[in-house]
Amino acid sequence: MVRPLRVAVVGSGPSGMYAASELVSDGQAEVDVFDRLPVPFGLVRYGVAPDHFSIRSIRDTLDRIWDQPGIRFIGNVTVGTDVQVAELREAYDAVILTYGASADRLLGIPGESLTGCVGATDFVAWYCGHPDANRDFFESYLPTVSHAAVIGLGNVAVDVARILAKTAEELHATDMPVHVRKTLAAMALTDIHILGRRGPAHATWTTKELRELGELENCAMEVDPIGLESEAAWSTDQRVATRNVEVVRSWMDRPASSGRKLHLHFLTRPIAVAGTNQVSMVQVERTAFTQSGGLASTGEVLDLPVEFLVRSIGYRGTGLPGVAFNDDSGTVVQNEGRIEPGLYAAGWIKRGPSGIIGTNKKDASETVATLLADVQAGGLPTSTNEIDELLSSRNLEAVTIAGWRAIDRAERELGTQFGIDRMTISDRASMIEISTLG
Ligand code: NAP
C-alpha cells in the first residue's frame, strides 16, 4: 500500500490551517502543524482586535479543522531554533511555510528608538495577551500617557486607535486578560492622533472599520480639514475612496462633545521623534501631492506633544536559514507557492501583509495545488527521517491538540468567572502546565 504524503506546515495561522485542512480533507496526506506558541491560530488570536467578535469567531471554524483525521498540532516548537527547516525537509515529503509577517517596519527617522515609540505588532500583541509581549513596559508606561499618536491609515492603525479610545465598559466582553484591562483603564488619555501621509481617499483602511471610530461612546472625532480636498486623485478604487471620504467628512459637522478626542490628520508625516529619556514629541511635516501622485515636502513643520507613539505602517516577514528570501519585500522567493520542489509557502510570508483572513484560503489553495502537481510529476525529494524521534531527542515541551484543548477549556472557564465567553491566558508557563492536563 502506498503511504499517505507527509507534510509539515510551519505556522498555525489561517493560511497554515487552510493548507492543512485541504491536504487532509480526502485522506491524501498526513499533516503536522508546527507553531512556536503553545496555542494555535496566529493572528486570529494575537492580531485580530479583541473587540472584533465576529472576525475572532473564525477561531471556532479553524478549531474544527483539528477534528479531521491525519492532522496533528506540534505547538511550542520553534522552527529555526528547536528544529531546522532542513531537518523538517528530511522528515517530511513536503514543508509549507506559513509563519506570516511578524516584524514591524521602521520609519527610519531620528528618535524612533526612544522609550514610548513602539511598533503596532508589540502593542497589539500585548493587548491580545501574547505570551512574549513586554508586559512590564506597557503596564508601567501606559498609565503615564495622556497624548498618543498612531502613524498610518490602515486597518491596524484603526484597531490601535479604537482600543485606546474605548472605555472599560466597551472592552468588557472581550477576551483581554485582566492586566491589559487594568492598564488601559488606568490611562489618563485625553488625545489620540492618527497621522496619515496621504489623504483619506488613499487610506488602506476599510469603510466598515473606519465607521467604527465614529461610534465610540466617550470619544469625540476631530478632523483636521487639510488633505480632505485631495481626495479623488490617485486613489486606486474611486468608489471605496469616495465612501471613506464621506465618512470622514460626516464627522466634521458633529457638535463638540466631552471625553477623549480622536484627531485625524492627513498629508502629515513624521520626520523626528524627540524627548529626553522617553518620547515627549513627534515632529511632523505637511506633505503635498506632486503632479504624478507622489508625495513632496512642503517645509511646513509642526510639533505634536505625545508620550506614546505607535508605528502602524505595515508588517514584514523575516527569513529562515536555507530558505530563499527577498529582503526588500520581506517575503520568501516563490512562484505559485513553490520555493523549490518539496518546500512551499502560503499566506503573508508568501505574498506580504495584505488582504483579509479569507484571502488566505485562496492563497493556501494555490500552494497546495502546486505541491500536489509536484507530487504527481514525481518531483519531490524522498523523506528519510522520523520527526517524532527527532523531537523527543531534544526534550521539547511540545503541545498537542489535546493540550491546546485543555488551554481552550481553561480560558473558557476563566471567562465565566468574569461573566464573559473566555479570557486569554497569557503566561507561557501556565499554558504549558495546563496543556499537560489534556
Ligand atoms: P497597511 O494597510 O499596509 O497600512 C499601512 C499604512 O502605513 C498606510 O496608510 C501607509 O501609507 C502607511 N505608511 C507606510 N509607510 C509609511 C511611512 N514611512 N510613513 C508614514 N506612513 C506610512 O497595513 P496594516 O494596517 O498593518 O494592515 C495589514 C493588513 O491586515 C491589511 O491587509 C489590513 O487590511 C489587514 N487587517 C484587517 C483588519 C480587518 O479586516 N478588520 C484589521 C487589521 C488588519 P501609504 O498608503 O501612503 O503607503
Q: Is the dihedral of CA 354, 52, 176, 415 positive or negative?
A: negative
The whole-angstrom separation of Cα 157 and Cα 175 is 20
Mutate to test the pocket of ligand 1, among 204, 271, 283, 329 (most ligand atoms within 8 A of CB): 204
- Dump the DSSP string for 279-346: --EEEEEEEEE-TTS-EEEEEEEEEEE-SEEEE-S-EE----TTS-EETTTTEE--BTTEEETTEEE-
What 3-state DSSP class applies to 8?
Answer: strand
CATH topology of domain 5-102+317-399: Rossmann fold (3.40.50)
Give the pLDDT confidence of 215-228 residue by residue, as tens digits.
Answer: 999 899 999 988 88
Q: Is the CB of 44 under 6 A from ligand 1?
A: no
Task: Please state whether beta strands 29-34 and 71-74 pair in parallel, antiparallel, or not at all (unpaired).
Answer: parallel
pLDDT for 232 equals 56
**Cα–Cα distance, 361 to 372 (Å, whole number):** 16
* 354 Cβ below 6 A of ligand 1: yes
DSSP secondary structure, 100-155, as one string:
---EEPP---TTTTSBTEEEHHHHHHHHTT-TTS-HHHHHHHGGG-SEEEEE-SSH
Alpha carbon distances (Å) from 208 to 106, 155, 357, 402 = 27, 10, 15, 37
Q: Which residues pair with 334 in a beta bridge?
A: none
Query: CATH topology for 105-311?
Result: FAD/NAD(P)-binding domain (3.50.50)
285 lines ligand 1 (CB under 6 A): no
Closest residue to atom 2 of ligand 1, CA basis = 154
- Ligand 1: which residue has its CA nearest to atom 46? 203
Q: Which of 107, 265, 285, 112 is nearest to 191 (CA)?
A: 265
- Ligand 1, atom 15, residue with closest C-alpha: 313
Per residue in 230-281, pLDDT tens?
655 556 678 888 899 999 999 987 777 778 999 999 999 999 999 998 999 9
What is the pLDDT averaged over residues 294-311? 95
pLDDT tens digit string along 74-112? 999 999 999 999 999 999 999 999 999 999 999 999 999
Closest residue CA from atom 18 of ligand 1 = 107
Instruction: Check whether 204 has a pLDDT greater than 80.
Output: yes
403 CA from centroid of ligand 1 (Å): 35
Q: What is the pLDDT of residue 313?
A: 97
Q: Whole-structure pTM over 0.75, yes or no?
A: yes
What angle (nearest 5°) sits at the alpha carbon of residue 360, between those of residues 357 and 365?
A: 150
- pLDDT attached to residue 163: 98
**What pLDDT does residue 216 have?**
93
> Which of 198, 295, 313, 349 best tests ligand 1's pocket when mutated (most atoms within 8 Å of CB)?
313
Query: What grid cell was written down for 147?
Result: 497624548
Rounded to the nearest angstrom, the distance between the alpha carbon of 110 and the centre of ligand 1 is: 22
Q: How far is the CA of 315 from the centre of ligand 1 (A)?
A: 8
* Domain range list for the chain: 5-102+317-399, 105-311
Place of cell 505559485: 336
Residue of minimum CA distance from atom 13 in ligand 1: 313
* Residue ID of nearest Cα to ligand 1 atom 31: 354
Quick check: 385 pLDDT over 90? no
Maximal C-alpha separation, the chain: 74
Is the CB of residue 198 below 6 angstroms from any atom belonging to ligand 1? yes
The answer to whether the beta carbons of residues 307 and 148 sit under 8 Å apart is yes
